[in-house]
Structure 1
Amino acid sequence: MGIRDQLGKDLDALDSEAGGLQTVSADVIDVTEDGRVNLRMMGADIYGVACTDAYRNRKAGDTVAVRRGAVPVVLWRLGEDPAQAEQNDVEAIAEQAARDVQVVRAATYGTGAPAGSGWQIPSAVYVRKVDGRMELYFQVADASDPSPGSPAVPSPKPATISPTASGTWRGGRPDEYASAPTQGDWTGRGNRRGAWFYGSAIQNACAGKTVTSMKVAFARKTGSGVNAKRPMHLYLHAHSSPPSGQLNLGSGPEDLLRLSVGATGTATLPTSWANALASGSAKGLAIYASGATDYMSVTGGRITVTFS
């Protein structure tokens, strides 16, 4: 039996047994680390809903079609054709890849002079390295056949920096009971503050370059606080590694990201924060909240820096 025939039989069975496929629309609250989604469907929040492969480029704010049932499944996204956005993504990737390719048509050698016309013996050869790649310039006697134009110097590649360490502090000292950076107080034993540390990696990656933006990716752990979206209260800190005493907070808070349970998200840091991290006057990121309202544990902390 073909796939189409089997699908027809399945749909017919569903129609007779359950009054139809019972597909409804829903709004995506967040996307989780494992690719599932948290949904607002028919006035209720549903967490960790699986998706078919047809639902690509998943993101918060999407409107999707959901097959109802004991185990709901997201079938596809509703709305505009995503082809143009996908084409833009492909073109951006192709442009970055092309920057890594040496633009020499052929490189050959032999014991005699090359065959064919147009060859010149350079009187001087110049070489330099730009953005990790080699540039060659040949000084020749006759430039009646104009040289190909030199492409503009590309922007440096984005740098991705992962934390070298992370942790949680409570009562002025490290909290060994927290498995990931945590903010707030769920049990009444005192407010927690979490942090991510990068040593000098951010400053080193930005040395001699102009920073355009810094983005940081996080994921909210399950089993920490209420399931609904809550804000991360972000701060800067000046510790290059985890302190043995209190974790001191710097500039903040900035509520750049709101996450529901299990969700992932990316926040763009304020320009002043990016400058502080690039210069080394700040070393890392922290979270802190008071009480149970915004209690959560968070993993991740990978920073992506783009340059101009």
Structure 2
Amino acid sequence: MKTTVRYTRTAVAVLAALSLAGCGGAGEAGDASGSPAGVSSSTAQAAGPVSVETDYGTVEVPQDPQTVVVLNYALAGYLYDLDIPVTATIPEDTEAEGEHSEFWAEEAEDDGTVYLPWSADGFDLEAILTLEPDLIIGGGIGFPLFQAEEAYEDLSAIAPTLLVGRELTSWQDQFSFLAGAFGKGDLYEEHVQAYEERETEVREAITPPEGEVAFLSLTADGTPYGLVEDVGLPTTFADLGFEVAPVFADGGFEVYGPGGDMFELSTEKVGQVMTQETLFIAGFNAETTSVEDLRENPVYAALPAFQDNQAQELPYWSIRGDYDEALALLDQIEELYG
């Protein structure tokens, strides 16, 4: 197991300074104002970074970044959609090998995107520093958000760090925030229009099942998590006319971790609260289970959705899907209920 090297803010600042040692001064590449050679001060200023207000303070975001590090795999797709090059990201899970998503593999190959080491102890700051990024993007939902908040000062000492805050839980919120930071609101609106047109098509083509629906995700070790009904995936189904059960709202559960979209259940508790007519099952960060596998467990087999063959599998990426995954999910729902 790799030991993650962690630094204080001061140590990172020192390393950053050392990494720049020997570089030419501003006078070698431009005039006294710091403008590039052959570019006027006003032009350089127009092409310079833009101040973006975030939950963590004001960030000077370069508008044409060349070395971008994305510290949440689930956010990388937005950058590719916005034509922002991604130099490096992290795997979907800690201590895992990085693998390109089927939705942006071609773009990642074109960019030469690499994967940084990532452990439960935190991001590998030394590996990030080695890349000399001009922008770091992090946050989002779940553990990467928690770690980015913890390391925010250290990351900011390496490069401007733009975090997608915890209140931005839908793909629309996250995509809009990032598009705005790069002045690409028009491109975002084009994507949203395409999604809404497809959503309307699917809504008119499907017949949702009768009764309430609920959602479960299972980790590789079989631990079940319910999905909070007013965040993320369940809201997509609600928008399409499904009756989403208020399992979280009525159950007195606590949200698991900083993500705000899941709550942990015991297997016994699953038998008590997942009694809805339809149950959607998905793995977490991988295809960790299947309906047929769960039928081998008497608790799951006794659930009404399993008894009536209304337990449906969803791809694991649907839980915290980005724009492209949300669009692909509409196809899956149409196939199930069209």
Q: Place the TM-score, normalised by the shorter chain, in its bin.
A: under 0.3
TM-score scaled by structure 2? 0.23
TM-score scaled by structure 1? 0.25
User: In proportion to residue count, which structure has more strand?
Assistant: 1
User: In proportion to residue count, which structure has more helix?
Assistant: 2
Q: Between Structure 1 and Structure 2, whose CA radius of gyration is higher?
A: 1
